[in-house]
Amino acid sequence: MTAAAQPRDHRDTTAPNADRTRIHISTSHRPLTKRPLKLSDALDFWSFAGAAANVAMQMARPGVGYGVAESKVESGSLMKHPWKRARTTTQYLAVAILGTDEERAAYREAVNAVHRHVRSAPGAPVKYNAFDRDLQMWVAACLYIGFEDTYQLLQGRMSEEQAEAFYASSSTLGTTLQVTEEMWPATRKDFDEYWNRACEQAVLDDYVRSYVDDLLELRMIHWYLRLPFRKLLQFLTIGFLAPHFREQMQLKWSAADQRRFEHLFVFVGFVNRFIPRPLRHGGSHALMADLRIRMRRQKQLV
């Protein structure tokens, strides 16, 4: 075995790289269209199969993890109000990608109203503030990774040119909150450099890991809904996590698991090609319709 092929564990002190911080995509791109790709092409309902993994990735950054786990905003608690939290999060993604400037501004203000209450107590061992732009940048970057990974699992690995076009409109994932346009990496290569550096700060402790375990065990929903879906959610979640995050969460994943995961998405990707785009993307457009009704009626958005 060469030095480059030797496995590394969570004690390795070398900086994370793409082999450690990204999942493996084995198949080449199978385009449905010849036009340049856009981030909105990833708004397939299968894009949310990795939602739990994405939350876990976000929470691996201590400021985010403690902010979520310690939050006193009960109305937005994932563990206490999972369906509302799912709606507001997916609606944020829809408005960030499909919304107008006015709609993004309205949603930003609604989220800000909640975030004003999310800050660490004086003397807390982990300092956090929901308005911290660096933490918001990390969350937005995780969201982008989630969209890119699921798109490529369904459609195949993009070329550099396709990836650049896909990435070009992604900054609104962060700028719909406090992330500035200047903070968002200008090119896809710049984003990779940011991501690998940022992953060095993604280190889970037992407190946050326990919260993530509750999420993966679906302890926020009733047991009769939990039993049929728990194993599938765990399999999808671990599959959507890069090695660096699996190790932080102390999760096992074998070569056989990886093959099953890739084969599943080859099958899903094949079937998906025969489902009309309006059906595959209908959920996001329904969320946008709901947002516009709420704005028109001056109802609470978050």
Report which of 178, 174, 208 is spatially closest to residue 62, judged by C-alpha positions. 208
Which pLDDT does position 2 carry in this prediction?
A: 31
pLDDT at residue number 6: 32
| Any domain includes 193 | yes
Report percent pLDDT > 90 for the chain: 70
* Domain annotation covers residue 58: yes
Domain containing 63: what range?
35-296
Residue at 220 is within a domain: yes
Q: What pLDDT does 75 receive?
A: 67
Residue 270 maps to a domain: yes
Backbone phi, then psi, for 262, in 5-degree steps? -65, -40
Look at the chain and report how many structural domains it folds into.
Answer: 1
Instruction: Give the residue from 218, 133, 211 showing the smallest Cα distance to 176.
Output: 133
Helix/strand/coil for 28: strand
Q: Classify residue 26: in a domain, yes or no.
A: no
CB 156 within 8 A of CB 85: no
Residue 207: the pLDDT is 93
In a domain, 5, yes or no: no
Residues of the chain with pLDDT under 70: 1-15, 31-33, 75-76, 223
Look at residue 254 and give its three-state secondary structure: coil
Q: Would 2 be classed as within a structural domain? A: no
This prediction has a pTM of: 0.90
In a domain, 128, yes or no: yes
Please report, as a single letter, which amino acid is at residue 138: W
